[in-house]
Structure 1
Amino acid sequence: MSLNTVKRYARIPSAEDLRRPPPYRHSMVDPYRDHLRARLTRQPDVPVTHLLAEIRAPGYSGSANLLVRHLTQGRAEPERVPPSPRRLVTRLTSKPENLPAHHRRHLDDLITGCPPMTTLAQRVREFAATLTRRRGRDPDARTDAVLADDLPALHRFVHGLRKDNEAVLAGLTLPHGNDPTEGVVNKITLLKRQTHGRASSALLRKRILLNQ
């Protein structure tokens, strides 16, 4: 085992904390999940053929095998296990309209049930809007609002931004950046690593020129 794995096991208070919901791909049954959950709650032994007929009426066009697989995987059951921190970060930093409906509902439940999470989600979405829409004209007002919240981790992030305030302001307002330069540097580094110890600098120079 790696050192990080040992640390992760040492930090948890019980084995139940290691449980993680398995990742599932989007399925044609997902739009009817709420109906299936409500139906199975009222009548747990309802035949699958009845469920199939009920969701075909509003427009389900998948197969019966897909529905059976959906049910046997437990995807029609409520999400009792909270998502891992990494998965929760992914949901927080994604656009709400890009999330599956059940992930969006689950995220909303987690956010509304915890006031610090509500504030965190609001700040993350505000920062994302600042980045994507280049609303960096008045960064001090936004950072002051973050510092007023009871979120110490975000306070460290804001202090780091303020240390390089001019560069951050330029990146959020100016239409130009060093993205093309960084791309060329990354390409040269990749070519250098591919031929490391097996080719001369002359061959590396030719490969760089031919890849421009």
Structure 2
Amino acid sequence: MPHLKVPSDRIRVLGVDDFALRKGDSYATILVDLERRRPVDVLPGRDAEPLAVWLKGHPEVEIICRDRAGAYAEGARSGAPQAVQVADAWHLWHNLGEAVEKTVSSHHACVRTVFENTVSAAPPTSDDIWLTSPPPVPAAGMLDVCGRERRLVTRTRERYTAVRQLLDGGSTLENICRTLQLDRSTVRRFVRATGIDELLVKATNRSTILDKYKPYLHQRWNEGCHNTAELHQEIVTMCFAGSIQTVRGYLRSFKAAIAAPPVPRPAPRPRRIVRWIMSDPANLTADDAVDLKEIRAGCPELDAVAHHVRDFAAMMRDLRGDRLPAWIERVLADDLPALHSLAKGLSRDIDAATAGLSTPWSSGQVEGQVTRAKLLKRQGFGRSNLDFLRKRILLSP
């Protein structure tokens, strides 16, 4: 890369992050002076070696803010052993959120048990639906309205079993895709799943355009109206945009029943529960707080997760990274595999994670510089190489 003179001021606090030149194919690393709030260089790739070489030429660097990528940790360790590495607090919180989501998904059966043991409130009238526009109701659980296992659930179980058998037999992802005639992303999702429950939770919590009209359909069916065309027309006047086939398919299972079963109280989706757990309790609505309390009472594992999240949030808020080792010990003492994985990863990067929870430095403004770099890249319409893009990033006001 031709030489480009960059600002020669001493850099004490450095921010490091990567951005895509071509997503999934090629990347670059941007270096930002966090005190002067400006980029100081752009390196090819996102490997440890280029960063280490650059840092060896800048022995004045005292603090390096980064995400939790192992390559940047190694590059900073070998190129600037004198510098304190700071793992970005947002990335730490994001990693915790991912672990919480996996835990909620694996224990969603407990949540469904808590919610399906109670029935929803009385179905709204047509005027209620028109005026209040209630939120969509999540799809039912593993069974249909007649108590039979849903076809989606059966298919998911069969595919998961087939994928795991081929994988255990030594087949590659490509061979599994060809054998089962599945898309690569589908096979990868089945391979990465921690178990069948994680897949079933996602499969059975898909919303449909019919969800918010189901209580009304149940009510009208029990009143004696079994004419699908008439029922479809009624909910069309309530702004239902689907076809009559959608209504007919849902009502078909009612034919064998004397009356439509009561609509069970819908269990919230995993991501909604994660949002409740990851939010400040003071910011939850009264209804959300009550639902979360019921979930925690019905599932000890999720109650433990909520306690760990509150403790972690307190560490971040109070800049008490010194509490991290004790937090890791408490997590490892509970039967929470997803959080165990996070805790072990933090143990391997304990110094940087502790610094990230103890200092005000973060990679926030680095993310802003990444956004700016992507804008400059797009302005080149894909016709500039890395050298030209580097000049634009460093020299553009």
- TM-score of Structure 1 vs Structure 2, range by shorter chain: 0.5 to 0.7
Cα distance 1:79–1:118, how it changes in 2: closer, same or farther (>3 A)?
A: farther
Task: Spell out, residue by residue over 1:159-179, the C-alpha distance to the aligned partner (whole angstroms, 9 max, x if none).
Answer: 011111111111111233343
Greater percentage in helix: 1
Q: Does the CA-based 8 Å contact 2:376-2:389 persist in structure 1?
A: no
- Cα-to-partner distance string for 1:96-120 (whole Å, 9 max, x where unaligned): 2212211111111111111111111
- Please say if 1:152 is aligned against 2:318: no
What does residue 184 of structure 1 align with?
Answer: 369
Deviation at 1:130? Answer: 1.3
Q: CA deviation at 1:197?
A: 2.4
For residue 297 of structure 2, what is the aligned residue in structure 1?
A: 112
Contact 2:316 2:357 survives alignment (8 Å): yes
Secondary structure, aligned partner of 2:272: helix
- Aligned counterpart, 2:288: 103
CA 1:179/1:198 → structure 2, altered by over 3 Å: closer, same or farther?
A: same
User: Structure 2 residue aligned with 1:93, among 265, 278, 300?
Assistant: 278
Q: 1:202 to 1:160 in 2, by over 3 A?
A: closer
User: CA separation of 1:85/1:153 partners in 2, compared to 1, >3 Å: closer, same or farther?
Assistant: same
- Cα distance in 1 for partners of 2:207, 2:313 equals 27
Task: Please provide the CA RMSD for this pair.
Answer: 3.4
CA change 1:145–1:195 in 2 (3 A) is same
Structure-2 change in CA distance of 1:150 and 1:203 (3 Å): closer
| TM score, norm. by length of structure 2 | 0.33
Give 1:36-47 correspondences, 5 Å limit: none
Question: Kindly tell me: are residues 112 and 85 of structure 1, through their superposed partners in 2, closer, same or farther at Cα, counting changes over 3 Å?
Answer: same
| Number of aligned residues | 153
Distance in 2 between the 1:79 and 1:194 partners? 53
Correspondence 1:55-204 to 2 at 5 A: 80-198=265-383
Distance in 2 between the 1:21 and 1:87 partners? 17
| 3-state SS of 1:138 partner | helix
Aligned amino acid, residue 118 of structure 1: D
CA distance in 2, matches of 1:95, 1:21: 30
Q: Is the 8 A contact 1:21 1:83 kept in 2?
A: no
Distance in 2 between the 1:161 and 1:152 partners? 14
Q: Structure 1 or 2: larger strand share?
A: 2
Identity %: 37
Q: Secondary structure at the match of 1:173?
A: coil
Structure 1, unpaired ranges of 5+: 23-68, 70-77
Structure 1 pair 117–169 and aligned structure 2 pair: CA distance change class (3 A) = same
